[in-house]
Amino acid sequence: NASGGSWSVKFLKGALIRVPMALQANRLVAALVPTGWNPIIYGIPDDVVKQVDKVTLFALVATVEALVRSGITDPYELYQYFHVSEIGNTTGSGLGGYLSLQNIFKNRFLDKGLKNDVLQETFISTIQAWVNMLLISSSGPVKPAIGACATAVLSIDAAIETIQSGKAKVMIAGSTDDFIEEISVEFANMGATSNSVEELARGRTPSEMCRPCTSTRNGFMEGQGAGIVTLMSASAAIEFGAPIYGIIAMSGTATDKQGQSVPAPGKGVLTSAREACDNILPSRLLNFDYRRRQLLRQLSVLEAWKQEELADLADINNQPTDTVELSMICCAGEVEKSYRRQLRSLQDTWGNEFWKNDPKIAPLRGSLAVWGLTANDIGLASFHGTSTVANDKNESDVLNTQLCHLGRTPGHVVPVVCQKWLTGHPKGPAASFMLNGVIQSLRTGLIPGNRNADNINKDLEAFDYALYLSKSIQTSGIKAGLIKAFGFGQVGGELLVVHPDYILATLAKEQLDKYNVKLQERSAKSERYWQDCLIGNNPFVRVKSSPPYTAEQEKSVLLNPLARAKYSSKSGEYKI
């Protein structure tokens, strides 16, 4: 208007007026982090908190905890043992920056004050980028995982392959996801989640609304959070003195079959038990003693080759006198390197890889046999257990079929763990949560029950090998646990976790004693770190202000595979 203080709006004939409508929410319960959770209390700077998405904040805190529980109180200490290119990250997410997506698709149109660079916080790769920029400063492999509800398995699987291929020695893996209104509504529209209004009408309390494997299960309960693990090769962990909580003896992923339903659970992960049963006699490769004999025979041949090569160095004496000694040393070093490379290859062939590409040995059977175990030694099965009608029945069928095909003794049941009754379904980090639970069971022998299992579905009685616990049981020990994940988009995954004693048992006494000394030192440092945080001496998340080298050193450090950090007692920092 001419006065400048008001506006007049003229509606033309046929104009369409859209008025926001209030919707009646029926998803009123979720598994959330405690009210009042504040990343600033953990030590994350205020400017970072304002910049990044909440999923990144979850990942930062979880990564620090994963490192500290691995005996790493300063990430830069890793560079005392490994090159910056040998530390990688596969941390992913089911969706990425939830609140940032909400901002660009909703709040930007409401003219709310938003950062100009909010778009970058929606990318899944941005999560691990902040972890690296603020905490680790590595230049190693990066493979952000994207896999809906099975993201953590994909992340761990990618990390293991990266380590086994020799591209890295240490990998940070896991996933992080959030909870927001828009996603909750869409899950509700799909009929995937538990209807809180209906549950309350039936007299159910919020703590009872997620009931995996029961006759009354009615959808999964959404959650949020992050689950991060530190993965190392066994040799790296022993050299570093890191506590070993479990051995990832097998990791695998699988799609399903033709179909037109993205969330429908499938049976693709059955392929981990695939093997041709054309002979009643088991392969000799499954016999631990047989593989040991073959290894020793080939090691004797390798030792003879080494001695012959060293004897041939006498030919170097024909060279000028002043170069003879230097040439002898260089050539002897080359022989030693070649010897150790061939030694590792033989150990891999007869120790870890004998079953690969053999149609008569299933990946799951072969991975167990590496440690002298069989299908009978699987002590628990950690279910994806979402509390949906389709998933819990399908997952039970898959487990039962696998164990039957692998010849587990009839009647030798496997206790099923369905921890989502307590944690809810955090989507991407689900398998990280489950891995943490399996590790606790391996350490304590305690198998947690499903407290909401008030009436197991009669359809599940057909699966003889699955034992659905309603109460926790104490065992004399668990050798191995099996984890499954079934994600939207035909993303299935599986992890076989073996007790850490099986790797420690391979060490000679002197090597084990040396490792235990390092382990005790690291445990003491980690304990001190926790105490300092709890009494307020230091923040939990200690953000780095510079890389472990100067700007002038950067190119030379990246190009020198032998560049290592040293601890300066004067500055209290690790510098290359």
Q: Give the pairing of strands 170-177 and 225-232.
A: antiparallel
Q: Which of 38, 94, 57, 58 is nearest to 225 (CA)?
A: 58
Examine the residue annotation and report whether 533 is marked as an active-site residue of this protein. Answer: no
- Between CA 307 and CA 336 the distance in angstroms is 10
425 included as an active-site residue: yes
For the chain, give the number of residues: 576
Q: Is 330 among the residues known to form the active site?
A: no
Query: How far is residue 274's CA from residue 445's CA, in Å, rounded to a whole number?
Result: 30
DSSP string computed for 94-145: SSS-HHHHHIIIIITTTT----TTGGGGGSTHHHHHHHIIIII---S-B---
> Both tokens of residue 468?
């659905």
The number of angstroms, rounded, from the C-alpha of 380 to the middle of its chain's C-alpha atoms is: 19
- Selecting among 83, 149, 210, 499, the annotated active-site residue is 149
Q: Would you state the torsion angle of the CA atoms of residues 233, 235, 241, 243, taken in this order, to the nearest 10 degrees?
A: 40
User: 464: burial class by Cβ within 10 Å (0-12, 13-18, 19+)?
Assistant: middle
3-state secondary structure of 404: helix
Is-contact 533 540, C-beta < 8 A?
yes
For residues 345 and 532, give the distance between their C-alpha atoms in angstroms, rounded to a whole number: 45
Nearest alpha-carbon partner for 162 in 246, 234, 233: 233
247 within 8 A of 503, measured Cβ to Cβ = yes
Do 435 and 229 touch, CB atoms closer than 8 A? yes
Closest CA to 469 of 423, 415, 522: 415
Q: Are the CB atoms for 576 and 553 separated by under 8 Å?
A: yes
Quick one: 530 exposed, middle or buried, by C-beta within 10 A (0-12, 13-18, 19+)? Answer: middle
Going by C-alpha positions, the residue among 233, 250, 265, 246 that lies closest to residue 87 is 233
566-568 and 573-575: which strand pairing? antiparallel
Cβ pair 267, 484 in contact under 8 A:
no
| Catalytic site residue from 210, 213, 425, 499 | 425
Residue closest to 492 by CA, chosen among 270, 161, 275, 273: 270
State in Å, rounded, how far the first CA of the chain is from the last one: 68
Catalytic residue among 83, 213, 384, 418: 384
- DSSP output for 404-418: HHTTPPTT--EEEE-
Classified as helix, coil or strand, 189 is helix
- Active-site positions read 149, 384, 425
